[in-house]
Amino acid sequence: MTLASGLFTLTSTDPLTPASLEAAARPVDVVVTPDTEHRVARGRAFVDRCLADGRPVYGATTGFGPLVVFDGRADDEDQCDNALQHLTAGQGPDLPEEVVRAAVLVRFRSLSHGLSGVSTAVFHGLRNMLATSFTPAVPEFGSVGASGDLVPLAHVVQALRGVGHAYVDGVRMPAAEALALAGLTPLALSGRDALSLVNGTSVTTAAAGLAVASARRSLEVALALSALLTDLLGAAPAFLSPHLLAAFGHPETAWAGRRLAHWLEGTVPTGERSLQEPYSVRCVPQLLGAAGSALDWAERTVRHDLGGVSDNPLFFADEDLTAHGGNFFGQPAAFASDTLSMAVTQTGNLAERQLDLLIDPNRNAGLPAMLTPHAGAQHGVQGLQVVATSVVVAMRRACVPASTQSIPTNLHNQDVIPFGTQAAITALRQARSLRVLHGCLGVALRQAAHLRPGGATAPRCAELVDALAEVVEPVDRDRPLDADIRAAADALDRFVDDRLADAAAAPGNPG
């Protein structure tokens, strides 16, 4: 994967990663290798031969779902229309454009294995879309993640046919108009094309992958902010003793301790703090280490999804086999997303408690209440804390697992449901909410460093303060802080992005 002239470039055989899903938010140049071209064409030829031989093939010669016992439409182009029209029923607000674009990239990668029987023209149609800013408008509600993301992906395909709505350069408009503006030709479907495009968990995997990417970045932000809090309080880092953390038995905890020690290198404790700090300082290695462990597992699961084929049936030309099964069932990503939501929410709990510690004059090492030197006349970060409380409670309420909410649908054809799409979209929202909490904490820590004589003592913590100070002015007089919170969240992301490569190379990193 490379960045060429500002355009993200990858080949059709490159493994997808959470980071490459983030990059798909902007135009992507996918270079289709000859081997990929051959696999896709060979897969389509095998499907055509199966149909010519009169073999029963689900969705090509039959109805869909429980109506599989009935014949489909005789004309294959009409049969493609048959697959899409009844599924174009989604409701709710549009999914974020970056989720939809990532989903198209995931679908493209699944089809590139040549096991779905899609035509090369449709395969290249997805590639051509990704090279532009064209993005289908896809309603949030409709998928249960059990037979693929049928409804949202039907809206994707319909937009690529010129039906419904789409975005170009972020502007929503009728899909036919958007296609023309982007210089794209409407997709013409035949054979098994329609079912190949909708019968996979690509939206689920895309949202889960984006959630993982955001959470990975926020984990390092949480470590950096925790270190800065420790430094500004003048606390001794004795709770980071390698012997102590190794005895806990969890390698992720020891790793988190090393990351915190890295950030705190050179800190000068005041010697005036209690022997034992509150848990929001002392237990950070244990909490963030566990969050990192959950994140590692979620990321491994998502990477498996990104490398696999999600569809039904699959076509194996070498074995002369049409295999009907359940490779569209999104249970792995559902469990991973729910686990990620829990880890992100607990990390958010930590940030909110750290903010509370920082503004409390009874616990914050002599800093003024609400971090304002003019209490009453000025209110410092008081409104910011109320926002943080609101966000963290919303995260807790959203943390109910989706992956266990099975309810039968589709005439009991889908009698066990993973609801991975809802789990993944929730996980992504939780990750975005964590950024808000870190933005709140970042503004407060920047203010604390402004009020603390000498500021941060650890050099890396001082660099973090400088990065925040570039976008957040001291709060000497009350002012709106909404933009400051967002600016701080963005600055924190940029700051740790520059350092994540070093973090990944740190000894013992469980990731």
DSSP code for 62: B
Are residues 138 and 94 in contact, defined by beta-carbon separation less than 8 angstroms? yes
In 3D space, the residue among 381, 382, 388 whose CA is nearest the CA of residue 474 turns out to be 381
Between the alpha carbon of residue 165 and those of residues 91, 125, 138, 278, the distances in Å are 13, 17, 8, 52
Amino acid (1-letter code) at residue 470: E
Token output for 461 = 């913590």
Burial of 154 (0-12, 13-18, 19+ CB in 10 A): buried
Q: State the pairing for strand pair 28-31/7-11.
A: parallel
Cβ–Cβ contacts within 10 Å for residue 359, how many?
22
How far is Cα 432 from Cα 350, in angstroms, rounded to an integer? 16
In 3D space, the residue among 505, 511, 492 whose CA is nearest the CA of residue 438 turns out to be 492
Residue 58 appears among annotated catalytic residues: yes
Are residues 453 and 181 in contact, defined by beta-carbon separation less than 8 angstroms? no
With the C-alpha atoms ordered 308, 161, 195, 318, is the resulting torsion angle positive or negative?
negative
Half-sphere exposure of 71 (CA within 13 A, CB side): 6
The alpha-helical segments, DSSP class H, found in 322-419 are 331-359, 382-397
Are residues 305 and 201 in contact, defined by beta-carbon separation less than 8 angstroms? yes
Which residues lie below 8 Å from residue 74, measured CB to CB, with a gap of 6+?
none
DSSP code for 66: G
Between the alpha carbon of residue 399 and those of residues 65, 436, 492, the distances in Å are 31, 17, 25
Beta bridge partners of 409: 414
Query: 8, 58, 328, 419: which one is catalytic?
Result: 58
Are residues 200 and 149 in contact, defined by beta-carbon separation less than 8 angstroms? yes
With the C-alpha atoms ordered 291, 293, 297, 300, is the resulting torsion angle positive or negative?
positive
How far is Cα 439 from Cα 489, in angstroms, rounded to an integer? 4
In 3D space, the residue among 77, 11, 21 whose CA is nearest the CA of residue 306 turns out to be 21
DSSP code for 188: -
DSSP code for 167: E
List residues with catalytic annotation: 58
